[in-house]
Amino acid sequence: MADLTICGAGIFGLSIAWEALQRGARVTVVDPNGPGAGASGGIVGALQPHTPEPWNEKKQFQLESLCRAQDFWSEVDAKSGVSSGYARVGRLQPLRTEREVELARSRSHAARQNWGDAFDWEVLETCPSPKWCPPSPTGFFVRDTLSAILNPQDATRSLATALCARDGASIVADAPLEGTVIWATGWQGLLDLSDKFDKPVGNGVKGQAILLDHNAAHEPQIYADALHVIPHTNGTVAIGSTSERVFDAPDTTDDQVDDLHARAVELLPVLRDATVLARWAGVRPRANSRAPLLGPWPGRQGHFIANGGFKIGFGMAPKCAEVLLDMILEDRDSIPASFHTNSLA
């Protein structure tokens, strides 16, 4: 009999299962579609911090999770023998106006105060990589060393493989709800919660992305013109993504992907002749607060919620797993107030 039954095999469900195993709990993960079938099976994989000011509990939580990510994925990959594609390559952002340059310089001071000495947010007068450099009208760039990348499909595969290699864990299509139940059921789970609590809890935001055959491994990820350009360690480059609050089909691509491709080539002409390997679409779970939603299911004893990762789910997952299991296994509530399911009651 499982100590925990986790409904949903996306990044939140799998990360909670992995953390629970480290603490000696027996876990069953239930998902009729298998691991990474939803938004967690995407192709982008940008693990980026929010700006280092103004500071708040969400940014502190995110910082702690991003700091933990390297050890988290190293341990998972070592057990699975599958590379998650995790790498702390940093992020490069061109600065378009003098106002942006001034703001970026002020944020370098905030980063030293809030991030500590381990990571930098620095304003550069020249691009560190001439062949991997978006245009900058001012000639200035921000480079931060906290940002990292992974390959979402490989990362969920690595986690699922690592779980199945351990005693006390299973991933199945269907099973009875035994022990404590954790609902990590993505955007459709947020819609179900909205129905059950008769008020908006969250919804789904569709994203589309494209994968190119171009080897820029070890280059920094780029954020420019609202595009994420991710140079994966396996020799591909992902471009993403759209944000569609209204959509007809959750998992089909359209001409918006072509627009992403065209804009990426304009930013980085080196991508012009790269072969398109894949076009991807999926729906990400967005809680109304735009923060993850964690904690007990109000009025349902023994049931808990872990949802709302939205665009930062992979970066937040290690810390979300930690604090939710602090509550479930150790009766210790360290969930930030802005994340807490108390708001549903």
CATH assignment of the domain containing 331: 3.50.50.60
What residues does 122 pair with on adjacent strands?
A: 143
Mean pLDDT of 243-252: 96
When pLDDT is averaged across residues 34-53 and rounded to a whole number, the result is 96
- If you average pLDDT over residues 179-188, what whole number do you get? 98
119-124 mean pLDDT? 97
Whether residue 31 is contained in a domain is answered as yes
Q: Under a CB-based contact definition with an 8 Å cutoff, are residues 98 and 230 in contact?
A: no
Confidence (pLDDT) at 129:
87
Residue 37 scores a pLDDT above 90: yes
Cα–chain center distance at 111: 21
Give Cα separations from 266 to 127, 270, 271, 306 (angstroms): 17, 9, 9, 39
Q: Kindly report the number of other CB atoms within 10 A of residue 256's CB atom.
A: 16
Averaged pLDDT for residues 290-303: 97
DSSP assignment of 197-229 equals HTS--EEEEEEEEEEEE---TTSPEEEETTEEE
Q: Is residue 14 part of a domain?
A: yes
What contacts 205, CB < 8 A, 6 or more positions away? 187, 243, 244, 245, 283, 284, 286, 310
Residues with Cβ within 8 Å of residue 186, at least 6 apart in sequence: 8, 10, 38, 39, 204, 283, 285, 307
Whether the CA torsion 230, 233, 235, 236 is positive or negative: it is negative
- What CA dihedral angle connects 162, 166, 171 and 174, to 10 degrees? 180
Output the CA–CA distances (angstroms, integers) from residue 254 to 182, 205, 273, in the order listed.
35, 15, 21
pLDDT in tens, 135-173: 999 999 999 999 999 999 999 999 999 999 999 999 999
The domain tally of the chain equals: 1
- The answer to whether residue 240 is domain-embedded is no
Backbone dihedral angles phi then psi of residue 266, each to the nearest 5 degrees = -65, -40
The verdict on residue 224 lying in a domain is: no
Report residue 130's pLDDT band, with 50, 70 and 90 as the boundaries. Answer: confident
DSSP conformational letter for 247: -
Domain residue limits at 317:
4-42+154-202+288-344
Whether 217 and 228 have beta carbons less than 8 Å apart is answered as no
Measuring CA to CA, how many Å separate 142 from each of 157, 240, 328?
Answer: 33, 20, 41
The pLDDT assigned to 18 comes to 98
Assigned domain for 83 exists: no
pTM value is 0.97
Quick check: 1 pLDDT over 90?
A: no
Residue 259 lies in a domain: no
Instruction: Enumerate the β-bridge partners of residue 149.
Output: 46, 87
Q: Do 204 and 250 touch, CB atoms closer than 8 A?
A: yes
Average pLDDT across the chain, whole number: 97
Residue 115 has pLDDT above 90, yes or no: yes
Paired with 283 in beta bridges are 206
User: Looking at the domain assignment, is residue 175 inside a domain?
Assistant: yes
Q: Please, which residues bridge with residue 231 across strands?
A: 237
283, part of any domain: no
